Structure 1
Amino acid sequence: MTDEAHVHTYRTSLTWEGTTASGYQHYDRAHRLTAAPAAVGLDLTADPAFRGDPSRLNPEQLLVAAASSCQLLSFLAVAAAARLDVVSYRDEVEAVMPGDDPPMRITRIDLRPRIVLADTAAARPTDERLAHLCAVAHRECFIANSLTSEVVVTPAFSWVGDPGADAPIGT
């Protein structure tokens, strides 16, 4: 028996209106997602490869964003517990969905967080310790744990004041 106090339930509401009478090529892919109690909803569509509107988010992007966001939140929790002062976390994520390997699915998500930490009076943790904390965060990331896709985390750490610590990702 499950302890009800430890069960987290998530609900969303999705709406679409239109017609598919004219076939696959012609129906509108636009739809709206809400998730109470959040006041802001999302206007979504299909991936442009599947006739969606490129100006709107699509489910594949939401999946990738969820993996990135969950890793961020898990790492911040682990870092705070380890008494590390994380001052910046930026992630450029890439996911792949091969079209020639049925069933269609995202098979790999690469997270590449760039994490900047404040220099404190305490001794800096070793690179191995930082990598371990990132791995612990990955093990605790419930989105990654919910996926069958491979999720790879390749962090880069720097310290406030280090050259390039504030450089944009991709440089």
Structure 2
Amino acid sequence: MSDPHRYEVALRWSGSTGLGWEGYGREHTATAPPAEQEVGLTTGEAQGDKRVLNPEQLLVMAASSCQMLWFLHLAAKARIDVVAYDDDAVGLMPTGEPPVRVTEIVLRPRIRLASDSPVERVDRLVHTAHEQCYIANSLTSEIRVEPRIEHAR
């Protein structure tokens, strides 16, 4: 069996959930270097242009974005002030094992908090967000969330 294809994306958000659910911006960016666009047009493996996002990268981005948006929603409702959220996610698609599909997505959010919110409570919200994420619930791929929770300095 050959090595799986690897699809990496980087998602970025910053702001503050300190004003509650209606007070924070949902705008965020997602990229998958070396792609320069945020629209998937081809596959990056065969004849595709590696500067253009491919559907596999967009799938990983969708899972990452959905997880982040659910987490921010829950954090705002819990009055936890999140000031930054970065996720360096990866999707794996083994080759040579029909049917070919993305079998695993690993989300690695780095979450920075404005105050001394209890890390254990924030960790529970991360896992609740995963349970609520409709993208994760729609996929047969295994999705793991490996958060790093820090207090901003």
Q: TM-score, normalised by structure 2?
A: 0.72
Counterpart selection for 1:46 from 26, 43, 47: 43
Aligned amino acid, residue 44 of structure 1: L
Aligned amino acid, residue 43 of structure 2: A
Aligned length: 116
Structure 2: 5+ residue stretches without partners = 1-37
More strand by share: 2
Structure 1: 5+ residue stretches without partners = 1-40, 162-171
Distance 1:139 1:43 in 2: 27
Distance 1:42 1:57 in 2: 6
Counterpart selection for 1:93 from 79, 89, 92: 89
Displacement over 2 Å in runs of 4+: none
Identity of aligned residues (%): 53
Q: Does 1:157 align with 2:153?
A: no
CA change 1:117–1:55 in 2 (3 A) is same
| Structure whose CA Rg is larger | 1
Aligned amino acid, residue 146 of structure 2: T
Q: Does 1:75 align with 2:71?
A: yes
- Partner SS for 2:120: helix
- Partner SS for 1:50: coil
Pairwise CA distance, 1:42: 3.0
Q: TM-score, normalised by structure 1?
A: 0.65
Superposed CA offset, 1:19-44 (max 9, x none) = xxxxxxxxxxxxxxxxxxxxxx8361
- RMSD between aligned residues: 1.4
Question: Does 1 or 2 have the higher relative contact order (CA < 8 Å, sep 6+)?
Answer: 2
Name the residue aligned to 1:132: 124
Counterpart selection for 1:111 from 103, 107, 114: 107
